[in-house]
Amino acid sequence: MQGAKEYANLFTTGTYGKLYIVSSSHARGKTFRIYVLPDGEGFIHNGPSNGPLNSNAVEVYGPVSGQLGWSEVYGWKHLGQWVSDFSDIVQIRLQELKTQIELKDKGEAAKELDRAELIANTLSNY
């Protein structure tokens, strides 16, 4: 769904500082919601694709228009410091993913080198 996919692919459902993120999907695509948790409260779990059960949690990012399940468009419902904080979290997550990809590539390159050395060693001992 518009405005959800790019974030839903970056995050799993969970608490990120004072933000509770719900990253999920339905039959038509990805869904993504952000809640601000009340001061001093951890989230009260309500299943992997539901918002928290905290009575004072406020949904600050989620569907803002369209028909839910069909054509919803996601965006900020309330603006505040959490927008900047979330932007920082996104940048950190993107850097983490970049590092993971680089490490994976290095690991695969090392395996290929080890394999090439093994082949060369085997053939030279013929």
Average pLDDT over residues 108-126: 73
Strands 29-36 and 14-16: unpaired
Tokens of 99: 């590092």
Give ∠ CA 43-46-47 in degrees, rounded to 5.
120
Q: Do the Cβ atoms of 35 and 19 come closer than 8 Å?
A: yes
How many CB atoms within 10 Å of residue 25? 14
Q: Which residues contact 61 (CB under 8 A, 6 or more apart)?
A: 32, 33, 34, 74, 75, 76, 77, 86
Which tens digits make up the pLDDT trace of 34-62?
999 887 766 666 655 556 556 678 899 99
Q: Where are the beta strands (DSSP E) in 12-99?
A: 14-16, 19-26, 29-36, 58-65, 73-76
Count of domains for the chain: 1
Q: Is the pLDDT reported for residue 80 higher than 60?
A: yes
* Domain extent for 88: 5-124
Q: Can you give the pTM of this predicted structure?
A: 0.70
